Amino acid sequence: MTFASTKKLALAARAGGYAVPAVNIVDSISIAAAVEAADAAGSPIILQTSVKTVKYFGAPVLAAVARSAAEAASVPVALHLDHCPDRSVITEVIAHGWSSVLFDASDRAFEVARGETAEVVAEAHAAGVDVESEIENIVGVEDGVGSDDPNVHFYSDEQLVGVALETGTDLIAPALGTAHGLYKASPVLLVDRVKALAALTDVPIVLHGGTGLSAEDFSAFISAGVSKINISTALKLAYMHSARDHLAEAERAGKWEPVKLFDQIGGAVRATVQENIQLFGSAGRAGESA
């Protein structure tokens, strides 16, 4: 299949009472592992790229690797740009066929964020690309983007939905008490805020900072109306810890085989994505977003 629409996947998930895993991939090993996990489970999947990853490989290479994995899969695969405040990178990935972009305007004042979001939506929609919008601060720094201050920009539910409807935003990323990275203290989760937002609009609601939440937390957020859940740190840990373990064993055995390293990393990432598919209830739901 070619890339799926992130918005369509999230709308189908909202209607079906599950969430689509949106996993941050970093290279061809993690792309293949995530798509294999989704394919085996019959789940839709959203591959997310950070700006840092796009800059490292270049948009053409990353898009080509993701596209070839998507075309070989029997489930819908979307390619999404995660947190991006830099409009030139958004323009670049739109030109290379990404399904969607997260325009992160949480560093801008309200009026500026609203105006620029409308411009990004117009640019993206002209190319058939969906836009996730973030104008509030989600705590934590993700690959160099973001803030640790939770109180910089936080708006009323009506303001947030108003901006989404007025600008034509396809998905919204509100502050929901979660944070990027590992939790240093128990988060105060704003499940009721999701219910309030979902009562105001059908625009899909995205949960950031998925790593470290419990099965009960995910269920509560999904029942409230979340239909795309972002997971990055858990994949990075699976990737790096499996690499560390493999290299320690290679050192002990005196056997150095790169492809075996790739296999071990791929297996660890695949298992992490499989776990999230089960937690989010997306297994067997691939046919619902066609």
- Tell me: does residue 210 bind ligand 13P (CB under 6 A): yes
Catalytic pick from 27, 39, 82, 263? 82
Based on the residue annotation, tell me whether 143 is a catalytic residue of this protein.
no
Q: Binding ligand 13P by CB under 6 A: which of 42, 150, 162, 181? A: 181
CA 266/CA 227 separation, integer angstroms: 26
| Strand, coil or helix: 182 | coil
Per-residue contact string for residues 126-165; x = within reach of ligand 13P by CB under 6 A: ----------------x-----------------------
172 vs 188: CA distance, rounded Å: 20
Please, what is the minimum distance in Å from the beta carbon of residue 49 to ligand 13P? 11
Determine the distance from the C-alpha atom of residue 35 to the mean position of all C-alpha atoms in its chain, rounded to a whole number: 14
| Residue 211 binds ligand 13P, judged by CB under 6 A | yes
**Nearest residue (CB) to ligand 13P, 111 versus 149:** 149
Q: Which amino acid is at 231?
A: I
In the bound state with ligand 13P, the residue whose beta carbon lies nearer, of 210 and 225, is 210
Interface with ligand 13P includes 232 (CB under 6 A)?
yes
Task: Give CA–CA dist 51/104, Å, rounded.
Answer: 11
Residue 3 backbone phi and psi in degrees, to 5: -65, 140
144 alpha carbon, distance to own chain's centre: 16
230 near ligand 13P, rule: CB under 6 A: yes
Cα–Cα distance for residue pair 83/148, rounded to 1 Å:
15
Applying CB under 6 A, the residues found at the interface with ligand 13P are: 24, 82-83, 142, 180-181, 208-211, 230-234
